Chains A and B, each alone.
Chain A
Amino acid sequence: MTPASLRGWRLVHRWTSLICSANLLILCVTGLILVFHHEIEHLMGEGLDTSHTEGQARLPLQTLVDIAQKADPTLVPKLVSFDPDDAAANYIYIGAPGVRDFEDGRWVVLNGHTGANQVLKQPEETVTGFLLKLHIDLFTGFAGQMFVGVMGILFVVSTVSGLVVYGPFMKKLAFGLLRFGRGARIANIDLHNLFGVATLVWAFVVGLTGAILSFSPLIISHWQKTELVAMVGRHNEPMTGTPISIDQAAAAGLAAFPGKDLAFIAYPGNDYSSDRHFSVMVRGHTELTKRLLSVAMVDGETGRVVEAADTPWYITVLLLSGPFHFGDYGGLPLQIIWAIFTIVTGVVTVTGFVVWLRRPRMRTAPAGIADRGISESKAGSKA
């Protein structure tokens, strides 16, 4: 690597890191708590009550939809969603008739076995909801979410550029050398290098998946406007007769993908379906396959599956980003490990910032100090 290109990489590392550091610290603090969101919700009594007696049968979906509609009889069902980790939790979206989008309706949460209606609190009303909103969009909606996504990309560039400048810097140093006796700047450089390189893969993956999740509205919108529209366009007959029940649609969708579970069902006439067809989304059972969706379009009059397909690769990438960002796919030990990695990333951010704050200022410093600055700079010019 030439000195000029190394200088360029150092600049990239310095500025990408500095720009995203404040947001990164917010993400680290909120993320550290959100790793344990299930446990916190349980402690605060904010979790859903999905208790039921052993062997108690699930209620038919139509019964659940009828119960949900009673919450506001002026609204009609648009979507029924199923929790992959708790089969008894059913989320039913009801909205104004004739409206295709999901802007002005509301979610009704039901216990799938008892039909008990649970009030879904607004995100700001729960501890984890508040932190999640801060984590996702800094309480500034779509613009904030895009901002966090850009910060995520900067963080990814920062990790890659950090790796590039690590090699030349460590040429004459042993791995993991911590020189605590050589002043605060050197100690911080060494801590930054050790913690940064040891946790680099984790930081890269979590940063990248976080950026992908931040851009999820754009990714889903692209899917809706391209492949989903094309799929719907191939089946644009209007609904003329009596629609089948949602249980019949679910059974037809499951029959198209044997051995899979329901993920969600979109009623005819909204953004995820045609005017005549139900979109039945299904998922697998394992940690991996339960993140991957397939869709069956079920004719709303005949109950026949007219088309079945897997979601495109970019939706698969988006769906797989969730577990690799939240660390919720390996039990409590993984959550604890995830939390420690988050703390270490916070330390890497702070030590990098301290290194930059204590950088030698050669142009304005007197000659003696400048000489010392140069030698320190040689010792540690990572940040």
Chain B
Amino acid sequence: MNGIWRIPAALAAVSTVGLAAAIVGDGFWHWICWAGLSIPLGVCTVKLWRQWPSSQTRATAE
């Protein structure tokens, strides 16, 4: 698998596991679900945070 698809495929995999986990059971499975589905949202947040114009300006100034 080339570089274009590596991260999207990983996000798709954790999303799928996350979606399926909570339907399998409670407790531990709920945590797997929350973690799995939080990862894609976390990646979006980190990418946005790091490249947001004001944060880049701040980084340059530092």
Contacts and interface: CB of A to CB of B under 8 A. Distances in A.
Interface of A: 166-167, 170-171, 175-178, 180-181, 191, 194-195, 197-202, 205, 286-288, 291, 320, 323-324, 329-331, 333-334, 337, 340-341, 344
Interface in B25-58: 25-26, 30, 33-34, 37-38, 40-41, 43-44, 47-48, 51-53, 56
A341 B8 contact: no
Contacts of A320: 23
A191 B44 CA distance: 9
Nearest to A166: B8
Contacts of A167: 4-5
Q: Top 8 closest A-B pairs, CB basis?
A: A330-B22, A201-B15, A176-B47, A178-B51, A198-B40, A175-B7, A197-B8, A333-B34
14 contacts: A170-B4, A175-B3, A175-B7, A181-B53, A198-B8, A198-B11, A198-B40, A198-B41, A288-B23, A288-B24, A291-B23, A323-B23, A324-B23, A337-B38
Contacts of B56: 180
Nearest to A195: B44
Contacts of B24: 287-288
Contacts of B16: 201
A101 to B, nearest CB: 33
Interface of B: 3-8, 11-12, 15-16, 19, 21-26, 30, 33-34, 37-38, 40-41, 43-44, 47-48, 51-53, 56
Contacts of A171: 4
A194 B44 contact: yes
Nearest to A174: B3
B48 to A, nearest CB: 7
Contacts of B11: 197-198, 200-201
A198 B19 contact: no
A241 B30 CA distance: 51
Interface of A is mostly: helix
Contact of A198 (B3, B4, B30, B44): B44
B47 A178 contact: yes
Contact of B51 (A180, A337, A341): A180
Given A180-B52, A194-B44, 5 more contacts: A198-B44, A287-B26, A291-B23, A333-B34, A341-B41
A340 B41 contact: yes
A194 B33 CA distance: 22
Contact of A334 (B5, B33, B48): B33
A170 B6 CA distance: 12
A191 B34 CA distance: 24
A177 B52 CA distance: 11
Contact of A287 (B6, B22, B34, B40): B22
A195 B13 CA distance: 16
Contacts of B44: 194-195, 198-199, 344
Nearest to B11: A198
B57 to A, nearest CB: 10
Given A180-B51, A330-B33, A202 B4 contact: no
Contact of B37 (A176, A180, A191, A334): A334
Contact of A176 (B12, B30, B33, B43): B43
B34 A330 contact: yes
A331 B19 contact: no
Contacts of A341: 37, 41
Nearest to B37: A337
Contacts of B43: 176, 198
A178 B3 CA distance: 17
Contacts of A200: 8, 11-12, 15
A25 B38 CA distance: 23
A341 B40 CA distance: 9
B25 A334 contact: no
Contacts of A181: 53
Nearest to A180: B53
A362 B52 CA distance: 31
Contacts of A287: 22-26
Nearest to B38: A337
